[in-house]
Chains A and B, each alone.
Chain A
Amino acid sequence: MTAGPFALSKNKDVQERHSVLQADGTIATGAQPRMEEEFLLEALRWMMKSRLYDTRVISLQRQGQFGVFSPGMGQEASIVGSAMALDPTRDWIVPQYRELMATVHHGLPLEIITAQYLGKIGPARIPDGVRVLPTQVSIAAQLPQATGLAWGLRLRGEDAVVMAYIGEGGSSEGDFHEALNLAGVTKSPIVFFLQNNQWAISTSRRVQSATASFAFRAAGYGFPGVQVDGNDVMAVYDVAVAAVERARKGEGPTLIESVTYRMSFHNTTDNPSRYEDPKEHEEARTRDPIERVQKYLTGLGLWDKKREAALTEELTQENEAALQLAFAAPAPVPADVFANVYDHPPQRVVQQEAELLDGRRD
């Protein structure tokens, strides 16, 4: 289990999955963690923040106070470990829709994302200088755009890397194949981070593809593919750093398959009890990405229940502050609906706006 990040591209054994911190909280034999302890504590902080936020907004959604939401529960190590490999001052994140805390780590304020879920238009605008594209709900449509973004950065001579997120389900779309193929041809500075969380709504990983590993697909595009334990933040960070370094050096893209498990649901409209085997879910629970870090740090004397309670309290307050800011932000008025369709609205739009305001003065 100690293979270097890119051994897989040459290795036909799919079971070779990069692992550092095992589910029981011990370091895999022979593994050499790249993450220092202090950095691991920071990763833990982000993962806990992610789970606390998810828990809170699911509850708000159930009370009718929050929009449709896709939690990252169970995938915190993938989301956080990948984002921590980036430099927010020059690199870009191109999300799908389940990487919320990666974008927050990258500089997008949590209150802004929250305002977006609350339908607050102005307050939800991504601030200038934050190198994050908006979430994408046309599955895989972000990937050709991410390849273009990476290629554009290269043409402009910027020393930047794009981290583009996709799921194993999204990898069935034609856009996935076309984007990876072109990125390989252009040797664009991009990392395709595929979170294999085993589910695309109700469609299991086996229905998406007969391939033994999604990482294998990279071979067809002429760049390395690597599979990693996506619940192991130390291993995810390792492979992400290596892939980012490769891209930055001009050596081209990497496909990372981060094998994880969707511990909640597709989004708040979903009901996995219709299709998910509870045994599979329970088994996945034993591989929790957060608990294993806490166990490991406990062994080092860096973690205990008291510290856990204190950090939980601190993060809860942080999240709450962001929620309050977002709730307090002004809601849009009907007239705002025509803003930003064009740089200068054409006559037809102006006329329709006047008609609308005429009819709906509220």
Chain B
Amino acid sequence: MPEEKLYRVALREALGEEMERDDTVYLIGEDIGKFGGAYRVTDGLLDKFGAERVVDAPIAEEVIVGTAIGSAMLGLRPVVEMMTINFSLVAYDQIVNNAAKIRYMFGGEANVPLVIRMPGGAGHQLSAQHSHSLEVLYGLIPGLLVVAPTTPEDAKGMLKSAIRTNNPVMFLESMSLYNVRGMVPDGDYTTPLGQAAVRRKGADLTIVGVSRMAVLANEAAKQLEEEDIDVEVIDLRSIRPIDWPPIVESVNRTTRCMVVEEGWATYGVTAEIAAGVQERCFDYLDAPIRRLGGAQVPMPYSLPLEKASIPTSEDIKRMARKVVGRKTDA
């Protein structure tokens, strides 16, 4: 029977099942063993698989990723946990200059079947160096797959796909989604990478949401129903590659589009989506495409300021009303 599970538990199940299925899969990261990971995703896996497959590493992100790449070239399937996406910046050279390019530079001779899992997002008073949404830094790199699941079902199915693909995958989790519950199918299933998901059908406006903002867009859409605004919500799920057909089909039908991300909108994922929609749907559009992102500041530690920096479902509703031409707040 499908069961309701936490997002973090769905991830844990994916890791455990893939490790059982394939003994080349191993985990490496900081505090993932006895501590079970900063967000408890790897809890219990050390006991089950031992210290050779659940490797607690020194605090050295560059060498964690470099080591994972080296072993991946040999045929192992490392799954790296970064405590936050911010720490992956220390390993940026290994990821961008190496993981993403090795297959190409070696003429396809070597694969890098590497997964780097990392939470992003703010809302937990972890301040400017622990709280950002840096999807775009990986979204612009050819050679990487970049995905951001938002439901427990996708978290499990997409993590399994990420472990099985021969390409390096940046697997973006959100700190604020770990405690979200949702139905998870039984048994071994995978969710394909590279596909968007239509979360809700609608006729007046298409909202494309990135990571947790897809969840908030869904909440906003439910509330906008009461104002007779019928919103279609697309959960982008894959930041690289972008799955254009469902977005284009939707916008051509609703004739209006807005895009939401938690990160900075200038040069952001929303910028890429807005540009792509404009190229593909120009003749159908009845309003300018609007983008909503977080405040363009380093994430404040101060709670009232942190709250002011992250888009809320109220912000989404406010912008949605503008896009459909409603002048007043309901």
Contact = CB atoms under 8 A, between A and B. Distances in A.
A275 B34 contact: yes
B105 to A, nearest CB: 23
Most B Cβ at <10 Å: residue of A119, A337, A352: A337
Interface footprint category on A:
35 or more
A174 B62 contact: yes
B267 to A, nearest CB: 11
Interface string A206-236: 0111000000000000000000000000000
A332 B305 contact: yes
A68 B30 contact: no
B302 A121 contact: yes
Contacts of A331: 302, 304
Q: How large is the interface on B (under 10, 10 to 19, 20 to 34, 35 or more residues)?
A: 35 or more
Interface stretch (B1-9, B163-171, B186-194, B291-299): B291-299
Interface string A114-133: 00100111000000000000
Nearest to A357: B308
B35 A202 contact: yes
B300 A356 contact: no
A170 interface: yes
Given A274-B35, A332-B304, A352-B296, A337 B318 contact: no
Contacts of B56: 202-203, 207
A250 interface: no
A298 interface: no
Nearest to B30: A203
A170 B125 contact: no
Interface string A184-199: 0000000000000000
Interface centre among A68, A203, A274, by most B CB within 10 Å?
A203
B126 A201 contact: no
Nearest to B307: A334
Contacts of A169: 58-59
26 contacts: A119-B125, A119-B301, A119-B302, A120-B302, A137-B129, A137-B130, A140-B59, A170-B59, A173-B60, A173-B61, A173-B90, A200-B59, A201-B35, A202-B31, A203-B35, A208-B58, A274-B35, A331-B304, A334-B307, A337-B300, A338-B297, A341-B297, A341-B298, A348-B296, A356-B308, A359-B318
Interface in B32-61: 33-36, 38, 56-61
Nearest to B36: A274
A209 B126 CA distance: 28
A28 interface: no
Nearest to B40: A274
Contacts of A116: 301
Contact of A209 (B35, B58, B130, B314): B58
A275 B37 CA distance: 12
SS of B interface (majority)? loop
A314 interface: no
Interface of B: 30-31, 33-36, 38, 56-63, 86-87, 90, 125-127, 129-130, 266, 295-298, 300-305, 307-309, 314-315, 318
A120 B303 CA distance: 9
Contacts of A333: 304
B302 A332 contact: yes
A336 B305 contact: yes
The 8 closest A-B pairs by CB, nearest first: A119-B302, A202-B35, A172-B58, A334-B308, A275-B34, A172-B60, A337-B305, A201-B31
Contacts of A63: none
Contacts of A175: 90
A60 interface: no
A208 B63 CA distance: 13
A68 B125 CA distance: 8
Nearest to A272: B35
A48 B212 CA distance: 45
A341 B62 CA distance: 29
Interface in A77-101: none
Nearest to B91: A174
Among B57, B60, B309, B314, chain A packs the most CB atoms within 10 A around the CB of B60
Interface string A234-277: 00000000000000000000000000000000000000001100
Nearest to B329: A359
Interface string A321-362: 000000000011110111001000000110010001001100
B59 A337 contact: no
A334 B60 CA distance: 36
Contact of A334 (B126, B305, B318): B305
B125 A67 contact: yes
B127 A137 contact: yes
Given A173-B60, A349-B296, A352-B295, A119 B315 contact: no
Nearest to A204: B56
A60 B314 CA distance: 32
A139 interface: yes
Contacts of A67: 125, 301
B60 A121 contact: no
Contacts of B308: 334, 337, 356, 360
